[in-house]
């Protein structure tokens, strides 16, 4: 689906107008929302860690893991990810400052700000420029070159999802590039030091510090924290994969995007992203990444606004005859899994044109 230059400009102007409308309306309500989520996440973490530390029965363990998982998911997705996008910088609140926020995950926030906010959100879905296309591990579109490692990608995907925070953390180091010798030694040292320091802190917190605080309950806390991190990993992985990989989300080549206008940039963000249908609770638990389309059009608008403006974004898309990719969780994730199987194999190059 492409637009003429004039259509793309008009499309971009309508989205710009929508964005400015929301920016002009930012205030109390947005501040109250993010602070409520922050308190919810903190409260949930305190409840979860206390249940793990002081309980002794399986029920309190399960509740504790659940509460800690919710705390981590909220902190990573609705707070950390969104705050670091600068969604709340207008508040001038140093605890919600995009440049200094540090999140509860092994990925160092400085490296995340660079490769996510800058690389991924600027060069979204451009094969070769946006490393989030398959994360250097998976082949999710025919435009990516096939490699024998892709044969096992249904399995590597399961492993990636279980260890997702490590994938997110290591992604910043860009090891494939480093292995090809294209990263300067100084840069590699600097970035790996930041990663190692952050990872050590996270490991110490969940697997040494809190278990030790629990004294005799140490094993219970250790396993509880491990489980909470695991569930958080799988959940974030699944939600994020539904953002750009479902059927209908397309990728771009560098040539296509040369000298791209603002309207064309918007168009690429729209066509490269996919939403998941759901209720308000579901949206918060995904950090509103279930509104991936709105997030990619407007990455620095407070995320809880996405659901409100979604009908209008959809109407604008309809006006220009553009598809708006949304569907149930199972439909979107199902199509991701299907792609993982289909593109595990190379294309039959000599396939005859459709008869």
Partner 1 sequence: MQTATSFWTTPWLHPLNDVAAIDDLLAQLHPTWSLGRIKARVMRVVVETPDTKTFVLEPNRNWRGFRAGQHVGVEVEIAGVRYQRRYSLSSAPSAAPVIAITVKHQPGGKVSAWMHDHLHVGSALTLEPAAGSFTLPSPLPARILMLSAGSGITPVMSMLRALIASAAPLDVDFVHVVRRPENAVFAPELAHLAATVSGLRVHHYYSASGGRLDVPALTRLVPDCDECAVLLCGPTSFMTAFRPHFAGRLSEESFGAPIVAPDAASATAVEILCTRSERAFTASGDTPLLIAAERAGLRPRYGCRMGICHTCSCVKRSGTVENVLTRKLSSEPNERIQLCVSHARTDCTLDL
Interface with partner 1 (CB under 8 A):
26-32, 38-39, 42, 45, 86, 89-93, 95, 99, 102, 113-114, 118, 201, 204-205, 209
Among residues 246 and 299, whose Cβ is nearest to partner 1?
Answer: 299
Count Cβ neighbours within 10 Å for each residue of 310-322 and write b for 16 or more, e otherwise.
Answer: beebbebbeebeb
Nearest to 33 by CA among 83, 69, 102: 83
Of 39 and 190, the one with the shorter C-beta distance to partner 1 is: 39
Find the radius of gyration of the CA atoms of the chain: 21
Q: Minimum Å distance from CB 230 to partner 1?
A: 20
268: β partners: none
Chain center to CA of 268 = 18
Least spacing, CB of residue 265 vs partner 1, in Å: 15
Q: Least Å distance between CB 49 and partner 1?
A: 9
102 vs 277, which CB is nearer to partner 1? 102
The residue among 198 and 295 lying less far from partner 1, judged by its C-beta, is 198
User: With contact defined as beta carbons under 8 Å apart, do 163 and 233 qualify?
Assistant: yes
Nearer to partner 1, 114 or 129 (CB): 114
Is 60 or 98 the residue whose CB approaches partner 1 more closely?
98
CB of 149 to partner 1, least distance (A): 32
Concatenating the DSSP letter of every residue in 67-120 gives HHHHHHHIIIIIIIIHHHTTTTGGGT-GGG-TTT---SSSS-HHHHIIIIIIII
- Shortest Å distance, C-beta 159 to partner 1: 29
For residue 225, the minimal CB distance to partner 1 (Å) is 13
């Amino acid at each position: 689906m492409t637009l003429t230059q004039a259509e793309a400009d008009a499309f971009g102007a309508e989205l710009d107008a929508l964005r400015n409308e929301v920016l002009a309306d930012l205030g109390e309500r947005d501040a109250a929302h993010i602070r409520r989520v922050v308190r919810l996440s903190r409260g949930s973490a305190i409840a979860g860690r206390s249940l793990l530390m002081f309980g002794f029965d399986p029920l309190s363990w399960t509740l504790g893991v659940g509460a800690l998982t919710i705390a981590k998911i909220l902190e990573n997705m609705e707070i950390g990810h969104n705050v670091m996008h600068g969604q709340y910088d207008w508040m001038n609140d140093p605890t919600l400052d995009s440049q200094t926020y540090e999140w509860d995950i092994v990925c160092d926030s400085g490296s995340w700000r660079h490769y996510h906010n800058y690389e991924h959100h600027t060069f979204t879905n451009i094969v070769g420029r946006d490393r989030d296309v398959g994360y250097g591990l998976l082949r999710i579109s025919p435009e990516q070159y096939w490699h024998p490692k892709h044969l096992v990608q249904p399995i590597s995907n399961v492993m990636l999802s279980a260890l997702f925070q490590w994938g997110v953390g290591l992604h910043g180091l860009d090891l494939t590039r480093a292995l090809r010798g294209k990263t300067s030694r100084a840069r590699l040292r600097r970035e790996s030091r930041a990663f190692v320091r952050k990872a050590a802190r996270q490991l110490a917190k969940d697997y040494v510090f809190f278990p030790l605080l629990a004294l005799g309950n140490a094993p219970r806390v250790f396993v509880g924290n491990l489980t909470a991190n695991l569930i958080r990993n799988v959940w974030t992985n699944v939600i994020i994969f539904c953002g750009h990989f479902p059927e209908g989300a397309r990728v771009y080549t560098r040539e296509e995007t040369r000298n791209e206008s603002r309207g064309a940039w918007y168009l690429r963000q729209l066509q490269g992203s996919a939403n998941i249908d759901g209720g308000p609770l579901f949206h918060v638990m995904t950090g509103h990444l279930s509104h991936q389309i709105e997030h990619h059009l407007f990455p620095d608008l407070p995320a809880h606004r996405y659901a409100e403006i979604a009908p209008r974004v959809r109407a604008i898309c309809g006006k220009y005859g553009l598809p708006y990719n949304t569907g149930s969780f199972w439909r979107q994730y199902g199509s991701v899994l299907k792609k993982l199987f289909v593109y595990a194999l190379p294309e039959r190059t000599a396939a005859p044109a459709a008869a």
